Amino acid sequence: MTRDRGLRDPQGFTLIEMMVAVAILIVVLLALYATLNGAQRAAMVSTRHVQTRDTGRVAIQLMERDLRMAGSGWGLVAVETSDNGNPLQLRGIMPGPGAVSDSIRILGSWGGIARLSQDMPLSTSAIRVDSLAGFTAGDLCVVTNDEGSAHLFQVTSIGTAPNTLVTGPSPWNTAGGHASWPAGGYRQGTTVYRVALVSYAVDSVTYRRPSIVRTEHGQASQLVAYDVHDLQIWYGLLNGARTRAPSDLSMIREIAPVIHAQTGSSSQDSSWTAVRPRVF
């Protein structure tokens, strides 16, 4: 039998052809992976930038809320208290130290309001009130009149027979503080406010990245913004000047916090507001 010369033996790919095909496939897969990985990284960076901007805005909103309540009930009057027996003055707005970033403390009234149900002749006298609503053990409270006097104490427990804000052992209640006690003390009917002492500052240690924390007296610090480049707090004064370091706190009329957020290795975004406390 003779072989049909029109037909050839089937032939497969050679080894070289297979190696070239595999190499081309690897190059295509690597290019596809690089494209997908780049797109994923870009999406993650974009998401992080959006989250950073959002947390900055949330922090500004919290600061704006607290700043509006600064000095509620006593305005620009200095609040006298005790610092372990030493006289200490507090204000509704208290600029804090800062190197690159600023900090601030805010004292204002939140929640409880009562009136003295009997005279309070001395700083060591009992604080008898007409209502205990809104007050709990551990709270800070300010007793203030319409004659330019205000004094802060810490409520260590609640007495109900009669209604009493008990001011037991505490650095805020230690004898020796509470200077400028009004002559004759505070009269029945004087207002007593439940107050909060809040601070905002940049924390570069506790978290993996520089963050703004809100700390209320007696409570754990709260993370409110991260990836912060700096916090600047500008003060608008009565004479129209603006400064980050006011020398006369009674001149403050407006507070403008600015948060610069780090949204990239060389890019920043800012959130800010301008607030005038409602009693200033």
End-to-end Cα, the chain, rounded Å: 116
Query: Residue 193 is encoded by which pair of tokens?
Result: 């406010």
pLDDT surpasses 90 at 40: no
pLDDT digit string, tens, across residues 137-166:
999 999 999 899 999 999 999 999 899 999
pLDDT of residue 110: 83
Q: Which residues of 194-227 are buried (b: 16+ CB within 10 A; e: fewer)?
A: bbbbbbbbbbeeeeeebbbbbbbbeeeeeebbbb
Q: What is the pLDDT of residues 113-128, one digit of tens each?
A: 999 999 999 999 999 9
Distances (CA, A) of 8 to 2, 3, 11, 17, 247: 14, 10, 9, 20, 101
Distance CA 210, CA 172 (A): 32
Cα distance between residue 171 and residue 177, in whole Å: 9
Q: What are the beta bridge partners of residue 231?
A: 259
Pairing assessment for the beta strands 242-243 and 222-226 based on DSSP bridges: unpaired
Q: Regarding predicted confidence, which is higher, 46 or 221?
A: 221
Measured from the Cβ of residue 234, the count of other Cβ atoms closer than 10 Å reads: 16
Q: Which residues contact 87 (CB under 8 A, 6 or more apart)?
A: 80, 176, 177, 178, 179
Weakest-pLDDT range from 18-22, 52-56, 92-96, 212-216 = 52-56
Q: What is the pLDDT of residues 254-271, one digit of tens each?
A: 999 999 987 766 667 889
Cα separations in angstroms, 254 against 33, 72, 198, 243: 54, 15, 18, 11
In degrees and rounded to multiples of 5, residue 209 shows phi and psi of -140, 150
- This prediction has a pTM of 0.82
Q: What is the pLDDT of residue 6?
A: 52
